[in-house]
Amino acid sequence: MSRIGKKPVALAGATITVDGALVKAKGPKGELTFSKHDLVSVSVDGGAATVSPANDSKQARALWGMTRSMVSNMVEGVTKGFERKLELVGVGYRAALKGTDLELSLGYSHPVVYKAPKGVTFAVAKPTEITLSGADKQQLGQVASEIRGWRPPEPYKGKGVRYAGETVRRKEGKKK
């Protein structure tokens, strides 16, 4: 039995509709869709959505908890939204907003411009801190990963783009 899958998802301020294999969540922050597998069924009753497996196969039980997590993340995304913070560490590393796009100075001979995808907004409080926000948790993590991919933190000086709170394992330099 899936411990996560058994729990119902509270629909605080969101509405969920199930149309065949499509599960749609709508709320104040937007609308998200998810294509569920045939081995899992989603039902909405009252103020909660429940997920149940179609049979007792290993694959159905594996998809049960994952589908419940996806529905839960969709509900949380359309009601509260998600936020991801990045830190720029290094001399001359900074970020700035250019309209809705993000312009990064990461030690290259040119600035790196990252176009804001639909559903993700950037905020730059300080030149070394970037805040990403949006309703889709997966898309937010993907965008943060792509930005971090331009200059991942290196182990000798710790320079690079890192997630807020990320610890970088430092290595000792060369010795004489």
User: Are the C-beta atoms of residues 134 and 96 closer than 8 Å to each other?
Assistant: no
The tens digit of pLDDT for each residue in 120-166 reads: 999 999 999 999 999 999 999 999 999 999 999 999 998 999 999 99
Give the list of residues 6+ apart from residue 88 with CB closer than 8 angstroms, or none.
94, 95, 104, 106, 127, 128, 129, 130, 160, 161
The tens digit of pLDDT for each residue in 57-71 reads: 899 988 999 999 999
Q: Say how many Å lie between the first and final Cα of the chain, rounded.
A: 59
Q: What is the DSSP letter of 168?
A: -
pLDDT band, residue 2 (cuts 50/70/90):
low
Domains annotated on the chain, with CATH: 3-79 (3.90.930.12), 82-163 (3.90.930.12)
Give residue 1's pLDDT: 62
φ, ψ (nearest 5 deg) of residue 40: -130, 140
User: Are the C-beta atoms of residues 43 and 50 closer than 8 Å to each other?
Assistant: yes
φ, ψ (nearest 5 deg) of residue 171: -110, 155
Dihedral sign computed on CA atoms, order 117, 118, 124, 129: negative
Q: What is the DSSP letter of 28?
A: T
Summarize the confidence of residues 104-117 as an average pLDDT. 94
The tens digit of pLDDT for each residue in 81-98 reads: 999 999 999 999 999 999
Query: Alpha helix locations (H) across the chain?
Result: 3-6, 58-79, 137-150
Give residue 4's pLDDT: 83
C-beta neighbour count of 135 within 10 angstroms:
24
CA-based nearest residue to 31, from 11, 50, 47, 16: 16
Side chain identity at residue 77, one-letter code: G
Cα Rg, the chain, nearest whole Å: 20
The helix/strand/coil state of 163 is strand
